[in-house]
Structure 1
Amino acid sequence: MAASTDLANAWFALRGWKPFAFQRRVWAAVERGESGLLHASTGAGKTYAVWLAALRAFAVASSARQPAPLQVLWVTPMRALAADTARALQAPLDELGLNWSVGVRSGDTGSAERARQARRLPSVLITTPESLTLLLTRAQARDDFANLRLVVVDEWHELLGNKRGVQLQLALARLRHWHPPLLTWGLSATLGNLQHARDVLLPGDGLLVQGRQDKQLQVDTLLPDAIERFPWAGHMGLKMLDQVSRELDSSASSLVFTNTRAQAELWYQALLEARPDWAGLIALHHASLSRDTRDWVERNLKQGTLKAVICTSSLDLGVDFLPVERVLQIGSAKGIARLMQRAGRSGHAPGRPSRVTLVPTHSLELVEAAAARHALLAGQIEARRSPQLCMDVLVQHLVSMALGSGFRPEQLLAEVRSTWAFRALRDSQWQWALDFVCHGGNSLSAYPDYQRVEPHADGVWRVASERLARRHRMGIGTIVSEASLQLKYWSKGGGGKSLGSVEEAFIARLRPGDSLVFAGRVLELVRVENMTAYVRRSTSRKAAVARWNGGRMPLSSELADALVEQLDAAAHQRYEGPEMRAVRPLLALQASWSALPTTRTLLAETLKSRQGSHLFLYPFAGRMANLGLANLIAWRVSQVQPLSVSIAVSDYGFELLSPSAVDWARHLPSALSTEHLLEDVLASLNAGEMALRRFREIAQIAGLVFGGYPAAQKSTRQIQASSGLFYEVFRKHDADNLLLGQARDEVLREELEIERLHRQLAKLGQLQLDLRELRRPGPLAFTLLVEGMRETLSTEKLADRIARMVADLEKVAGNNA
């Protein structure tokens, strides 16, 4: 007996709401047994569109003492969202008197609740991809999910583009094998490639429901009192403190987003110093804070007792804070989807407008603000694509499915190939994966720990021992923590002085002999071993490679394109909007001393100084791709003439500085070619070391490296040492190992952004090179000069040097605008 289809309307009426057309469409689709992807703005009512559809279709009015068995599986990307989701789902059950239970299963679930769920799962279970896979490893898993009718994947855009999404694809394939009629619905708010997102989640047919309820999005910019014509990045934006303080004072509850934890900390302290009366009314929220602290902040935000919270991406995702009236974004959000997501944290309810105020930290970010607003209102959202053929995730999945009741290879192969990520899996790759979990492949067959799965006489493959099963369950998942390396002075006898720690991704790009800067010192890398980078004092005046800062998010392609369109308009004397009119003096000076980039030209500038020959190039490709371009061009030119260069990089462009003269006009056209790109990129960077570091993550996901038991966790150094041994063994004795090839591919795709690099070079090849010889650095070149000076100057000396440079340049510029 199905519940009345008036359930949803009845509950909406209790709340005084009227359902939107897209909600009714989802309700009807679920009743017809159709799956789909629902895309609607944040706070538009996606959760209740799908949840009320499930209650309409599956809930049964019952006086039975026992709640209904598991009907709905609700997958969320974050454990922190689970409790909030549970409260949202519980409300209709209580008010409609439905005998359904709601439970949460994640890494935070206590042992007592786990024991209850082991006996009987709740009617709706909210879980994460990792916990879902763990549930599938239980011997009674098929019985546990026997009554399952619907899977809801919340915040699908957060899972789509990474290995967690691949892990979820495989888990859903198993559930669909058990229940072919199983319905699946994805929820998303910020996706630019909806067809792909739907196809990945729903192999075969599936609806794409676009929420037509237009949520009002208000985007404005806090204009600085004065425009610097020679801006430089790296400010924390604290010059805008008084204006931000006044804006916060005018709203009852606000979120202040920053892009780094350090920036959040500084803004929190600065606001407290400026407004001591706000003590207890403003709070801080980022991932490094304790769970208890973050819970307290979120609870008080919900209750409306906090005036403002200074936060990072830790509050990007869908916890609902209804009292929040507006969002302030300090600095550029670097992407349209991220800005939309953050804007949606305010006015988080149907019919309420969302407001985001952009706070530039330097003058050029006014152009970014104008570009972001135009791109956002035009719906130019970044695309996210699913990874393919992640063999480490497949290996882990094979062992997971071998737990409990085990698997039959031919049957599991069909499941795996039904996913988007493995639809092109070849027979040879499948056989390699089976061999790898069975006896460790070609090079590990002598070691019992890598004989994890074995075929039995009945044709079912199962995990070989309880000890290996226990170890595997502890390592299920694809989230691998970021590693840091200790930085020490090199000493022949060992035991050199420790200087601190540095990001692994930074060191992985360097070769012995390369220079780096740490704590104001120019150092030379000697060697890297056992998670320690050994260095010595360098006689170089400047670091030979770009300064790397992993905390900086690169500019997205969509926002970069919108930025160039704004500059193109300025080049044609069109200054539309308050931001562009405010920044006009800077852009006019750039045009007077050099030129402005346009959609048809590639601006390059040369300058001769006491330091040598400068090239400034502006591809607007984002920090990581610009770094790849800079290294590539430097390496290609060095093949023609001996060349020693230092590199400075920003999101807009890069500087190449050589002590000797370089004829950039002659070299640039060939240096920007797409020919032999892969070979030249691998030669220009330390790709081998980068692949070794990437292999550490792959080895952990594939179960080669055991992280230790809860009471005896292995250190990052131990894990890196173990994975390094595997890497060398495979490289020397098992060169065709698919995990090796995956490490190389991931470095090219994710760290070197080889596809974006290729697209960028192809795009640059279609532009007209606009090469300008500078008499003095203009506004755009100045930003890159400052980036380069960071390498050799402390913060205080850098500020003094910049002040002198700006004074000299302003004197020459005068009133030229």
Structure 2
Amino acid sequence: MIAKNAIETGVNWFHSKNWKVYKFQKEMWQAFFDLPNGLLNAPTGSGKTFALWIPAAMNAHAARSQKKRLKVIWLTPLKALANDIKLALEEFSYDNKLGLNIAIRTGETSAAERKKITDAAPDALIITPESLHLMLSQKNAPNYFSNLQCVIVDEWHELLGTKRGVQVELALSKLRAWSDVELKTWGISATVGNMDEALATLTGPSQKGQIIRANIQKKINIKSVIPKKIENYPWAGHLGIRLMKEVMDIVKQNNTTLLFTNTRSQTEIWYQGIMDKYPEMIGIMAMHHGSIDNDIRRWVEDALNAGKLKLVICTSSLDLGVDFRPVDMVIQVGSPKGVSRFFQRAGRSGHGPGETSQMRFVPTHALELMEAAALRSAIDDDLYEPRKPLTNCIDVLVQYLVTLAVGDGFFPDEVYHEVQSTHCYKELTIEQWQWCLTFITTGGESLSQYEEFSKVEILNGVYKVNRQRTAMRHRLSMGTIVGDPSLKVRFLTGGYVGTVEESLISRLNAGDVFWFAGQALEFVRIKDLTVIVKKGRNKKGIVPRWGGGRIPLSSQLSRLLRQKFELAAQGTYESVEMKRLRPLLDLQARLSIIPDSQTLLIEKTQTKEGYHVFVFPFEGRAVHEVLAGVVAFRMAQSQPITFSISMNDYGFELLSDQEIPIEDALEQDLFTVKDIFFDITSSINQSEMARRRFRDIATISGLVFQGHPGQPVRGKHLQMNSGIIYKALADYDPDNLLLKQAEEEVLSLQLEQERFLESMGRINQQKIKLIRTTQPTPFSFPILVDGMRERISSESLSERIAKMQVNME
């Protein structure tokens, strides 16, 4: 009866709004009542929010006569989305006189509002994973959540494969245990390459579920901004900003444009460049990235919604969900590195159901035009990257156990079975579980003499935190987002600007100018972990660089790119981009070859820099970094030789001051997978990488404390403290599970071990073509320049490259 009423109400309400009711929405309204769990797969702007909210709201309304308890949780990965979601949910509730009380709880919710939510539960609560875990740690939490009917996880694809996603899995396992009714779990997800696995991770391996697919083909009009002259010798980083005039022509033809860059530094550079050349954009142009103050970002979002801005230059901080209807054009500068990211960004324009998204691709060097062709093919054929879920995250698990202990406490046998019901911990052994219990009660073998690590006490079989100081510090440290060491930036006269990394500030002297948040700022001093600045008179200054700027090409995009080069090798130039690249590719074929999918190209040449070997697996930067290290290590075993290593997404370079015996190395099976793990660990400083990785693990697991509000521990002190613990554990407790996790994360996440092994398998199936060239080729030149960039200042580099290009033409 409720299902029939929900469907009728939904259809009538859509008609009253002059909206089209899609088939998937009706399917979803029915499935909500027929099935306990599932995943709604729908593109941005298709009406997916109401597809799940309408049945959840009608179900909650039907139960209002029961106890006044929380009935629906709407879990969102971004607190910035919360207000827009609340407006949408309230609109349906108000129009249909349901009388539902809808509240928000995020890290920005005031203490008074948090108390109100705790004292009198709303009917529906919009919440982030971190805030939900905080609520799990409250006294009487089992009773608070006992009437919960449904949890809706929005943007599940963004949480999948992250430790925040693992937090969600654990929270769901506990909410299912506490609920007096069968808890419904539904996710909303964009398309990923492993939808079935995404569903199983959300519901848990033992739960059944169904995927409801929208089957709406989102129309995307993709065009590349092709430079009038394509250089035969392209190099990364210089072309994008040179296309500013073409970009601004597009901006002028549209009402509102989002211009996406891949890094915060590029955002600052583009903003500064446009402001200098197009002063008329001042006041109608803004910038949005994760290091800018929340209040400024919120103002930008509000101005976007109100149609007051003509251009916003942004990073992934605007990738997700907020519905900016005025946006009618999206520009992507540089390779988005993945199909899903490109599709998500394209969907920010033409956001409404049935509308066409407009996307323009601006290459930062000529070869990226080939990626544009690959992206178009991928979207036409619905080829998206999988998001692999994480397994056995011990740091998240021990944090979660202390969270439960801070509340009413827990019985270990009960929680072990709940934890094992999740995808992440389905293979958690009883020995690993006992280790976790020992860790939270004593700190483990090597830390048991320090009282601060003995957080949880056992009383009558219940594991509980009894010390108020321990509980307070834990609540302040909860979460899995561990930021890079950063400092707040504030004006001398007052006013918060955002955050920059410590490494930048450590290089500045008083009076130095740097560009941040679109302003020239003069460094005054550091006080109480805050960078004090004033407006700079000198308009020239450095642009901050943040960590994580170089994202590798996804495996899906790498494969598609290889396919496009194979077409070129066969003489097939099917797209506009490939046709424009033909002169460059013809030159590559004359000087060397264009490899097909069965060929691994290796080029050998000599320049004033020294002796070069270039290898082109087209597997992405992360794989090339490891492979270059392994190749260099293996070659150095046969004779003393020193290399400089450079790489990009297409290949890597070995540079030496002596002849590189690549022919001998190939005869000795250079790319064999035999002893590969030994060679990997020998060729990279894995222990140092693991030590740095351990800093995040130590923070999440509670081994180090990040500080009180307004008094954060400095990044270098965090690194030092975690480094001391890492060394102590490595020396005295080498089997510590957190140490093992750090080593495994280096291999699986940082070095992409699984993808690397797949690449090695593919390389071993290929025939190797070694070509000695008289000069660098269009393929090798960008890698050559990347290596020079590390050794030469940017102005000298441009002059040097210009001379090289003239000599090679």
What's the CA shift for 1:641?
1.1
**C-alpha distance 709-276 of structure 1, shift in aligned 2 (>3 A):** closer
1:397 to 375, 394, 400: 400
Q: Does 1:630 align with 2:631?
A: no
Give how far 1:164 is off. 0.8
Off by >6 Å, runs of 4+ in structure 1: none
Q: Percent identical across equivalent pairs?
A: 44
Q: SS of the residue aligned with 1:805?
A: helix
Paired position in structure 2 for 1:779: 778
CA contact (8 A) 2:68 2:121 kept: no
What are the equivalent positions in structure 2 for 1:134-213 lying under 5 Å apart?
Answer: 134-179=134-179, 181-203=182-204, 204-213=207-216
User: Mean alpha-carbon deviation: is it higher for 243-252 or for 410-419?
Assistant: 243-252
With over 3 angstroms needed to count, the CA separation of the structure-2 counterparts of 1:550 and 1:9, relative to structure 1, is closer
Question: What amino acid does structure 1 have at the position aligned with 2:774?
Answer: R
- Counterpart residue number, 2:597: 599
Q: Secondary structure at the match of 1:792?
A: coil
Counterpart in the other structure of 1:431: 434
- Contact map agreement 2:601 2:769 (CA 8 A) in 1: yes
> Which SS does the other structure have where 1:185 is aligned?
strand
Does 2:769 match 1:770? yes
Match of 2:361 in 1: 358
Quote the Cα distance in structure 2 between the aligned partners of 1:792 and 1:502.
Answer: 19
Q: Determine if contact 2:477/2:700 at 8 Å carries over to the other structure.
A: yes
- Matched with 1:536 is none
Give 1:646-795 correspondences, 5 Å limit: 646-668=644-666, 670-795=669-794
Task: Provide the C-alpha distance between the structure 1 equivalents of 2:20 and 2:707, rounded to a whole number of angstroms.
Answer: 53
Query: Does the 8 Å CA contact 1:61/1:98 hold for their aligned counterparts?
Result: no
Paired residues of 1:389 and 1:421 also in contact (CA < 8 A):
yes
User: Which residue of the partner structure matches residue 123 of structure 1?
Assistant: 123
Residues in 2 aligned to 1:685 and 1:428: alpha-carbon distance in whole angstroms: 31
What code does the residue aligned with 2:272 have?
Answer: Q
Instruction: Report Cα offsets for 1:51-110 as digits up to 9, x if no partner.
Output: 012123332397x8x996311101111111111111111111111111101111110001
State the superposition RMSD in angstroms.
2.1
Label 1:484 to 1:680 Cα distance change in 2 as closer, same or farther (>3 A).
farther
Residues of 2 paired with 1:250 and 1:711: CA distance? 45
Structure 1 contact 79–128 (Cα < 8 Å) conserved:
yes
Given that 2:36 and 2:182 are in contact with CA atoms closer than 8 Å, whether structure 1 keeps it comes out as no
Secondary structure in 2 matching 1:671: coil
Alignment of 1:35-184 (within 5 A): 35-60=37-62, 69-179=69-179, 181-184=182-185
- Post-superposition shift, 1:30? 1.1
Question: What is the one-letter code of the residue matched to 2:123?
Answer: S
The answer on 1:15 being equivalent to 2:17 is yes
Q: Is the Cα–Cα contact under 8 Å of residues 334 and 559 in structure 1 kept in the other structure? A: yes
Q: Is the 8 A contact 1:2 1:59 kept in 2?
A: no
Which amino acid in 1 is paired with 2:129? P
Residues 475 and 703 in structure 1, CA contact (< 8 A), matched pair in contact too = yes
What secondary structure, in the 3-state scheme, does the structure 2 residue paired with 1:209 have? strand
Distance 1:683 1:175, change over 3 A: same
Q: Distance in 1 between matches of 2:750 and 2:121?
A: 41
CA distance in 2, matches of 1:8, 1:140: 36
What's the CA shift string for 1:736-763, capped at 9, x where partnerless? 1111111111111112222221111111
Structure-2 separation of matches of 1:68 and 1:269: 54
Is this contact kept in 2: 1:259–1:330, CA < 8 A? yes
| Deviates further, 207-216 or 264-273 | 264-273
What letter corresponds to residue 96 of structure 1 in structure 2? N
Conserved 8 A contact 1:29-1:35: no
1:555-614 CA distances to partner (integer Å, 9 max, x unpaired)?
A: 111111111111111111100111111111000000011001211111110012343321
Q: Return the alpha-carbon distance in structure 1 between the equivalents of residues 711 and 227 of structure 2.
A: 53
Q: Secondary structure at the match of 1:583?
A: helix
> Does the 8 A contact of 2:485 with 2:716 survive in 1?
no
Flag the 1:92–1:67 CA change in 2: closer, same or farther, 3 A: farther
Equivalences for residues 223-234 of structure 1 within 5 A: 223-234=226-237
**Structure 2 counterpart of 1:427, which letter?**
I
Please give the residue correspondences for 1:345-744 in structure 2 after superposition, counting only pairs within 5 Å: 345-457=348-460, 459-483=461-485, 501=503, 550-668=548-666, 670-744=669-743
User: SS where residue 501 of structure 1 aligns?
Assistant: helix
Q: Structure 2 stretches of 5 or more lacking a match?
A: 488-500, 507-544
Counterpart in 1 of 2:512? none
Q: Compared with structure 1, are the counterparts of its residues 711 and 212 closer, same or farther at alpha carbon in structure 2 (3 Å cutoff)?
A: closer
1:68 touches 1:100 (CA, 8 Å); kept in 2? no
Is this contact kept in 2: 1:77–1:129, CA < 8 A? Answer: yes
Cα pair 1:37 1:208 within 8 Å, conserved: yes
Distance 1:430 1:395 in 2: 10
CA–CA distance in 2 between the matches of 1:564 and 1:642? 35
Q: Give distance in 2, aligned partners of 1:503 and 1:284.
A: 22
Does the Cα contact within 8 Å between 1:503 and 1:550 map onto a contact in 2?
no
**Whole-Å separation in 2 of the counterparts to 1:466 and 1:621:** 51
Q: CA deviation at 1:778?
A: 1.2
Which secondary structure state, in structure 2, belongs to the residue aligned with residue 126 of structure 1? strand
Aligned amino acid, residue 116 of structure 1: K
The CA distance in 1 between the partners of 2:502 and 2:800, in whole Å, is 27
Check the 8 A contact 1:34/1:207 in 2, yes or no.
no
Distance 1:67 1:750, change over 3 A: same
Q: Could you tell me how far apart the structure 2 residues matched to 1:715 and 1:306 are?
A: 37
For residues 235-246 of structure 1, the aligned pairs below 5 Å read 235=238, 237-246=240-249
- Equivalent residues of 1:229, 1:585 under 8 A apart: yes
Task: Give the aligned partner of residue 263 of structure 1.
Answer: 266
Structure 2 residue aligned with 1:521: none
Does the Cα contact within 8 Å between 1:252 and 1:325 map onto a contact in 2?
Answer: yes
Aligned to 1:814: none
Could you tell me which amino acid in structure 1 is paired with residue 329 of structure 2? R
Q: TM-score, normalised by structure 1?
A: 0.89
In the alignment, the residues of structure 2 paired with residue 567 and residue 710 of structure 1 have an alpha-carbon distance, to the nearest angstrom, of 53
Number of corresponding residues: 753
Query: How many Å apart are 1:484 and its aligned residue?
Result: 7.5
SS of structure 1 residue aligned to 2:448? coil
Instruction: Find the counterpart in structure 2 of residue 510 from structure 1.
Output: none
Q: Distance in 1 between matches of 2:727 and 2:313?
A: 45
SS in structure 1 at match of 2:780:
helix
Whole-Å Cα distance in 1 between the matches of residues 404 and 505 of structure 2?
Answer: 35
Going from structure 1 to structure 2, the CA distance change for 1:500 and 1:146 (only over 3 Å counts) comes to closer
Deviations, residues 437-472 of structure 1 (Å, cap 9, x unaligned): 111111222222222112212x22111312211111
Q: 1:651 to 1:400 in 2, by over 3 A?
A: same
